[in-house]
């Protein structure tokens, strides 16, 4: 701020002040909105985008700095200096970790509510591109309200970190379910697919592309915690299957919003097993739009029914080659119906 001679509204040296005042942080250069394919591993209520280069190992200088979150986290509510109003959270267990953040459970003792908090160290936000990226994630996530999307609650910062407070999904992800059970039945997969399509349809109506749909970003919340109080549809059989939980999409770290329906993005981003061929083409292709989420939904459906992603190999470059050729097949067991195969 000193170097660029810019004043932050409210007199504070805060990253989020730009957003809170309606100011737009400088956007990344064209084609550089995000980063290369991620392979984040998390059990958090909101998964974290952990960008990884195409090379198998990152150089030491590229490794992210450690996130240090205090046991007691204080959010300042007053806008003026000296205002004593604060909200206090008690940090709980870590729920997931990615390249640039850690997700913790957070408890508000004043209300008894528990949340998930994505904690991003400010030391990782030194570059303008990184700051623009997290502000984009916050803007998009807070604008989306749907019963099948992890609820954005609030965001704030202190001297060391930026905190994104979200709904705590206290159940598993679909990745946990597949790991435990191997695969799902077609009625179960159909039910979850209906919820995924409902959420993604809502995102696309808002010109938002998620770009990182995968089992690990699909969170299950017990039905009793779902404020909507409704099932995914009118089929009683499907309603019974999901009586124990609802599906919610999380992690908007790679999401983008289109300026127009004709706009095409060229950023190479996503998770290797789920990434679409249009994304892999990057700037050499015609760009990508909503269809990349539809591709990922097909990969998700295959994985739910078979137990492994359709293009998975031991080498990421071989995986990309199979994706570009759309080279996959169905095993004899478990059996997948012709209708499900056609839909995939």
- pLDDT confidence of residue 172: 79
Q: Among residues 62, 83, 108, 212, which one is catalytic? A: 212
Using the predicted structure, report yes or no on whether residue 339 has a pLDDT greater than 80: yes
Of 99 and 242, more confident: 99
Using a 10 angstrom Cβ sphere, with 0-12 exposed, 13-18 middle and 19 or more buried, the burial of residue 37 is buried
Summary mean pLDDT of the chain: 79
The yes-or-no answer on residue 332 being catalytic is no
Q: How many residues does the chain have?
A: 344
Strand partners, 265: 288
In the chain the domains, ranked by start, together with CATH numbers, are 41-167 (3.30.200.20), 174-343 (1.10.510.10)
Using the predicted structure, report yes or no on whether residue 168 has a pLDDT greater than 70: yes
Using CA atoms, how far apart are residues 204 and 256, in angstroms rounded to an integer?
11
- pLDDT confidence of residue 100: 78
Using CA atoms, how far apart are residues 5 and 20, in angstroms rounded to an integer?
19
Using the predicted structure, report yes or no on whether residue 7 has a pLDDT greater than 60: no
- pLDDT confidence of residue 64: 52
pLDDT tens-digit readout, 135-148: 999 999 999 999 89
Structure tokens at 183: 């695969």
pLDDT tens-digit readout, 231-243: 344 445 445 445 4
CA atoms within 13 A on the CB side of 88: 7
Helix (H), strand (E), coil (C) string for 214-277: CHHHEEEECHHHCCCCCCCCCCHHHHHHCCCCEEEECCCCCCEECCCCCCCECCCCCCHHHCCH
């Amino acid at each position: 701020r000193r170097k660029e001679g810019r004043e932050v509204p409210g007199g504070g040296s805060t990253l989020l002040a730009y957003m809170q005042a309606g100011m737009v942080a400088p956007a990344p250069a064209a084609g550089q909105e995000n980063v290369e394919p991620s392979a984040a591993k998390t059990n958090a209520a909101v998964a974290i985008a952990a960008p990884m280069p195409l090379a198998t190992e990152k150089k030491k200088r590229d490794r992210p700095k450690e996130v240090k979150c205090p046991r007691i986290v204080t959010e300042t509510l007053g806008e003026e200096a000296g205002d004593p109003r604060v909200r206090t959270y008690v940090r709980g267990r870590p729920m997931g970790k990615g390249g640039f953040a850690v997700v913790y459970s957070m408890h508000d003792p004043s209300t008894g509510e528990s949340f998930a908090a994505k904690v991003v160290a400010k030391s990782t936000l030194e570059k303008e591109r990184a700051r623009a990226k997290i502000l984009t994630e916050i803007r998009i996530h807070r604008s989306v309200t749907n019963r099948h999307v992890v609820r954005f609650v609030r965001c704030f910062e202190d001297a060391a970190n930026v905190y994104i407070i979200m709904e705590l999904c206290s159940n598993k992800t679909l990745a946990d379910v597949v790991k435990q059970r191997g695969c799902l039945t077609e009625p179960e997969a159909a039910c979850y697919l209906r919820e995924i399509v409902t959420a993604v349809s809502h995102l696309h109506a808002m010109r938002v592309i998620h770009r990182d749909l995968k089992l690990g970003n699909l969170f299950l919340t017990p039905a009793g915690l779902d404020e909507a109080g409704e099932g995914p549809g009118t089929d009683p059989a499907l309603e019974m299957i999901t009586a124990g939980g609802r599906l919610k999409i999380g992690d908007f770290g790679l999401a983008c919003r289109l300026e127009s329906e004709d706009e095409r993005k060229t950023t190479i981003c996503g998770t290797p097993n789920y990434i679409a061929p249009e994304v892999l083409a990057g700037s050499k292709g015609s760009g990508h739009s909503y269809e990349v989420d539809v591709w990922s939904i097909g990969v998700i459906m295959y994985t739910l029914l078979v137990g492994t992603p359709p293009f998975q190999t031991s080498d990421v470059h071989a995986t990309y080659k199979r994706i570009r050729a759309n080279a996959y097949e169905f095993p004899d067991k478990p059996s997948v119906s012709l209708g499900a195969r056609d839909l995939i």
